[in-house]
Copies of this chain bind each other. A is one copy, B any other.
Amino acid sequence: MGEFDLIRRYFLPVAEQRGHPDLLLALGDDCAIQRVPADQDLVFSVDTQVEGVHFPRHYRPEYTAWRALAAAASDLAAMGATPVCFTLALTLPEADENWLEGFGRGLAQAASQFGLALAGGDTTRGPLTISIQVHGTVPRGQGLMRSGAQVNDLVTVSGTLGDAGAALDYLDAPTPGDDERALLSRYHHPLPRLELGQALRGVASACIDISDGLIADLGHILERSGVGATLNLERLPLSRPLRRCAGERAPQLALSSGDDYELCVTVSEALWAKLPEVIKSRLTVIGRIDGGEGVRFEDGVVLNSGPPGFNHFGSNS
């Protein structure tokens, strides 16, 4: 089966299931065309997932597609962007129809869930590699960046941390219980915090999505902002399934495992006090920005270089 047949059969339905009014031309020409409203800026990011590195070999194609699109869309969430469309660069060892059918189905589900229209792509033969570039928009000048954290800002995170990392122990479990299934669901079907990110425009002083672990990703905010942070380990938001399954390992997983795709957000105390409860309730205050360097903990432990970000199934580079 040729490249064009492949694309038509499995990806055209994804493009057709939902377009976007700003996507003027998608698939089938040399380029796609997007109209960016005059009061908006284009926001974009590319994310690559390699079999055996970012997801296990023989991983279900539905999950592979969902996770790849979620990982990319999470970068839009971190900028406070509204999703518009994406491109898919898919390298495949063979045109396995079962795999393509499952991948197309997972991609369609994720695209619909995240509000992203398929704009274009490229299909090539080779070891399984998925590069997705997502496009979103923000009102001009309102994109959330890593560089704005100020001394005394609160450090907050969304949701609970460590769940997807803990799930790695259960990927091959024959009969996972309720707790294990809850953790696995976070690994297989991560939900980028798109609406929360948009709600934080004009509120967050800095924002990043947690894809490499809290310490590593908060570290990027600190480095770009030229500040430090002190965290209270007891405030880390840990789910009940994580506490029950991981026990004493839970805080370490929350600090250093990726794949949850939650947001780490800094916000001034003044703006925090004015935030609607519906947004506050989605964030947990875990510490405070200070004039130091790197991440410290209230009990005095120093993690200047920090534990490395979670390395998936191998090294990340």
Q: Which A residues lie at the B interface, using CB under 8 A?
A: 1-3, 6, 24-25, 28-36, 38, 41-54, 75-76, 78-79, 81, 87-89, 91-92, 95, 119-127, 129, 131, 133, 135-136, 138, 140, 143, 145-147, 207-209, 224, 314-317
Q: Which 10 A-B pairs have the closest CB atoms?
A: A3-B317, A50-B126, A30-B78, A38-B38, A89-B131, A36-B36, A31-B45, A131-B131, A127-B127, A30-B75
Contact A53 B2 (CB under 8 A): no
Contact sample, A vs B, 19 pairs, CB 8 Å cutoff: A1-B317, A3-B316, A6-B317, A30-B207, A30-B208, A31-B136, A33-B41, A33-B143, A35-B140, A36-B41, A42-B42, A44-B135, A48-B124, A48-B131, A53-B124, A54-B124, A87-B133, A89-B133, A126-B129
Contact A31 B81 (CB under 8 A): yes
Q: Which residues of B contact A91 (CB under 8 A)?
A: 48, 50, 129
Q: Which residues of B contact A119 (CB under 8 A)?
A: 44
With contact pairs A25-B143, A317-B6 given, residues A31 and B50 touching in the complex (Cβ less than 8 Å): no
Contact A30 B124 (CB under 8 A): no
Distance (whole angstroms) from the CB of A299 to the closest CB of chain B: 28
Contact A46 B316 (CB under 8 A): no
Q: Which residues of B contact A35 (CB under 8 A)?
A: 41-42, 140
In the complex, the count of this chain's copies comes to: 2
Q: Which residues of B contact A6 (CB under 8 A)?
A: 317
**Partner of A124 from B50, B89, B121, B136 at Cβ < 8 Å:** B50
**Partner of A317 from B24, B25, B123, B133 at Cβ < 8 Å:** B123
A43, B24: Cα distance in complex, Å: 10
Contact A31 B131 (CB under 8 A): no
A45, B31: Cα distance in complex, Å: 5
Distance (whole angstroms) from the CB of A307 to the closest CB of chain B: 13
Distance (whole angstroms) from the CB of A234 to the closest CB of chain B: 28
Contact B3 A32 (CB under 8 A): no
With contact pairs A124-B48, A126-B127, A316-B124 given, residues A36 and B42 touching in the complex (Cβ less than 8 Å): yes
Q: Which residues of B contact A314 (CB under 8 A)?
A: 125
- Kindly name the residue among A30, A122, A140, A316 whose own CB sees the greatest number of chain B CB atoms within 10 A: A30
A291, B135: Cα distance in complex, Å: 39
With contact pairs A31-B78, A41-B35 given, residues A125 and B316 touching in the complex (Cβ less than 8 Å): yes
Question: Chain B: which residue is nearest A141 at the CB level?
Answer: B24
Question: Chain B: which residue is nearest A54 at the CB level?
Answer: B124
A143, B129: Cα distance in complex, Å: 31
Contact B127 A30 (CB under 8 A): no
Question: Chain B: which residue is nearest A119 at the CB level?
Answer: B44
Question: Chain B: which residue is nearest A124 at the CB level?
Answer: B48
Contact B46 A121 (CB under 8 A): yes
Distance (whole angstroms) from the CB of A34 to the closest CB of chain B: 4
